[in-house]
């Protein structure tokens, strides 16, 4: 990955409609390398949100696909046709689903001439605390559960995973330097935690091995989103210099 600090920042466009998304993207022009289109915006506006975001930055489509292999494969092919640079699937969907997603991305990219999007598997949401897994009947510890999903993603041929900064160092040690590690739950020391549980600063996340930091509310809800995004990029740059 390039050492341009902007390319380590994805801003989550968690806004309700295309008008709000356009205003945010315009305000952030040049401040972040990635714009993340998530469930809220995609449900409201569909592919139009992707097309708009693509005019400003690389698009990370984060709709966490989790269904039978054929359905997920069709959705991945459609996303590839729309030119997304990366999208998420749920590791819990199993290896057959993950492999179907990879094969669909490769096939659609070959047919359309577009670049194949990165496929990253969601492990355990950053809103989860360790005890939350027990409530779901998962006997493994949270780090063990994440490690199992990392192994699954690698065996399926995916590019990486999504996990909290708390697991980043262990994932990097397990999966190697070429594995793409997306970390939500990134906050500066001055930012509100919100409903995130497993969080870290940009410096800590990058030192642990993160490839891309996802930041939503601290930027989106700031009085001046572009200024706040640039402050994040400044912290990222300092962290990269310290590595």
Q: Which are the catalytic amino acids? A: 64
Locus of tokens 């949401």: 125
User: How many CB atoms within 10 Å of residue 111?
Assistant: 11
Name the strand (E) or helix (H) holding 229: helix 225-242
Strand segments (E) across 13-101:
34-38, 58-65, 86-90
Nearest to 14 by CA among 223, 190, 219: 219
Rg (CA), the chain: 17
Distance CA(108)–CA(111), nearest Å, equals 5
Distance CA(177)–CA(193), nearest Å, equals 29
In the beta sheet, which residues pair with residue 86?
60, 118
């Amino acid at each position: 990955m390039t050492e341009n600090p902007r390319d380590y920042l994805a801003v989550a466009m968690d806004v309700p409609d295309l008008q709000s998304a356009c205003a945010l993207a315009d305000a952030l022009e040049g401040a972040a390398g990635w714009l993340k289109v998530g469930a809220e915006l995609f449900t409201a506006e569909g592919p139009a949100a992707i097309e708009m975001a693509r005019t400003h930055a690389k698009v990370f489509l984060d709709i966490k696909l989790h269904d039978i292999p054929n359905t997920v494969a069709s959705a991945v092919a459609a996303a590839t046709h729309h030119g997304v640079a990366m999208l998420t699937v749920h590791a819990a969907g199993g290896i057959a689903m993950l492999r179907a997603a990879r094969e669909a991305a490769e096939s659609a990219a070959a047919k359309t001439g577009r670049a194949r999007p990165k496929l990253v598997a969601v492990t355990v949401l950053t809103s989860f605390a360790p005890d939350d897994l027990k409530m779901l009947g998962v006997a493994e510890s949270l780090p063990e559960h994440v490690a199992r999903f990392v192994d699954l993603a690698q065996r399926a041929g995916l590019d990486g995973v999504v996990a909290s900064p708390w697991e980043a160092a262990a994932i990097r040690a397990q999966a190697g330097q070429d594995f793409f590690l997306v970390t939500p739950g990134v906050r500066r020391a001055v930012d509100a935690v919100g409903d995130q549980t497993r969080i870290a600063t940009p410096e800590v996340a990058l030192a642990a091995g993160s490839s891309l930091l996802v930041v939503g509310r601290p930027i989106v809800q700031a009085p001046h989103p572009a200024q706040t995004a640039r402050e994040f990029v400044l912290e990222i740059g300092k962290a990269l210099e310290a590595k």
